[in-house]
Structure formats: structure tokens, C-alpha cells
Amino acid sequence: MKPPVQAHPPILRWLGRIDYESAWRGMQSFTDMRGEHTRDEVWFLEHPPVYTLGMNAAREHVLAPGDIPLVQIDRGGQVTYHGPGQLVVYPLLNVRRLRLGVRELVMGLENAVIAALFSWGIEAVGRREAPGIYVDGRKIASIGLRIRRGCSYHGLAFNISMDLEPFKGINPCGHRGLEVIDLRLLGIEATLPQVIERLAPQLSAALGWPPVLEWGSPKARS
């Protein structure tokens, strides 16, 4: 069943490449400062190379990080990798106001990516026991969230066109031997803004936003 359409859709922002800790502190600050009527936002960006560990992540899943920074953060989930060519989506949503449960939000993010991939003729699935999106058993997108003060932050990492070698330095999302792929390996060449153009309408459909979404400055097409 589709969620009801929300009266006030979020502002979408393309932020480009941002240091992980700066974006993380920005999300925390936005969440702490927002009021009951603050517009939701969705941030689209990419990060320089970094490994991140969730609150309860086991260090044993970090195998050989090399020179890549390792940051302990406040989301759920285990260890993952972020780097150039990966589209990161941070939904800064008042889930209490939207009447969205955590599982509904996770499934909405999964379904949006699945629908975007299907538009390229690629069949993908989510997994309840291991949140994320998979193509033929290979992981193409990860999800890790934090809910605080009734609001969400952290979010989705969608592999588009990146160096996948650093994933070999960890057990991705805590799963030994899990193969990780990106859109380019599936034969699709696309820039991050081009992927946003496909993904944003699917997020709208999956999470109940009006089909016309507002872009904040800087714009995705810039």
C-alpha cells in the first residue's frame, strides 16, 4: 500500500563532494535545531574515501583499512565504505510527523532504488534480514539510519561508478565474502546528477511526496 501524499514535500539539495564528518555533524545540527514545522530536506552528495562503523559494529569486520580513515558514528548497522562515485542520500525527515515507521522508511528507500534500477532494465531486490539492495546476490546499495527526536538522518549509499577495491578491506555490512557491485559493472554509465534525476521521482512515489519536488541551492543540475 502506498503512503498518503504529504502536503509539504522536502527540499532536495545536491551538495557535491563533502568530507564525511562535516556532513555528519551537519545532519546532527539540522536535526537538533529543527522545529515541529521545519521543512524536511534530502541531501544528495558523495564523500572522499572513508570507512564508517555503526554504533554496535564489530571491529572484527574491519580487515585491512590501509590509509582510509575509519570513523565510528551514530547510525545502525555494521561497517561500510563511502567513496567518490557513490551517491549518498541523507533523508532528514520528521518521521513522527510523516507517521513513518523505521521499517517503512527503510523499505521506501529500498523500493526507490529498486524502481530506479528497473528503469534501466535491472532487476533488484531488498532483504529484510540485511537491509540494502541486491542484484543477483551482489550488493549495490546500503542503508543505515538514525532516528532522534522523531527525525531521521544518515540514509542510503548507492554505488554508481566507483573504485570497489576498498570494500575488500572490510566485511561489507558485517557479511563475510559479500560481493559488492556498482551501476557501471551492470553496463550503465551515468553521472551522479543523472542518477538523482531517476531516483528523486522514485523516492517521491515510495515515500508519499508530491511528484513536483523543490530543489534548494545549489541545484542538482549545476
In angstroms, rounded to a whole number, what is the distance separating the alpha carbons of residues 198 and 107? 18
In the residue annotation, 151 being an active-site residue is answered as no
Q: Indicate whether 62 pLDDT > 60.
A: yes
Q: State the pLDDT at residue 210.
A: 82
Torsion of CA 86, 12, 21, 53, to 10 degrees: -60
Binding site listing for substrate: 75-82, 142-144, 155-157
DSSP symbols for 177-207: T--B--TGGGT----HHHHHHHHHHHHHHHH
Question: Averaged over 83-100, what is the pLDDT?
Answer: 96
Active-site option among 141, 151, 173, 183: 173
Q: Indicate whether 60 pLDDT > 80.
A: no
Does the pTM of the predicted model rise above 0.75? Answer: yes
- What separation, in Å, do the N-terminal and C-terminal C-alpha atoms of the chain show? 36
Q: Identify the structural domains of the chain with CATH numbers, from first to last.
A: 11-215 (3.30.930.10)
Among 121, 149, 146, 125, smallest CA distance to 137 is for 125
Angle at 10 between CA 189 and CA 4, to 5 degrees: 100
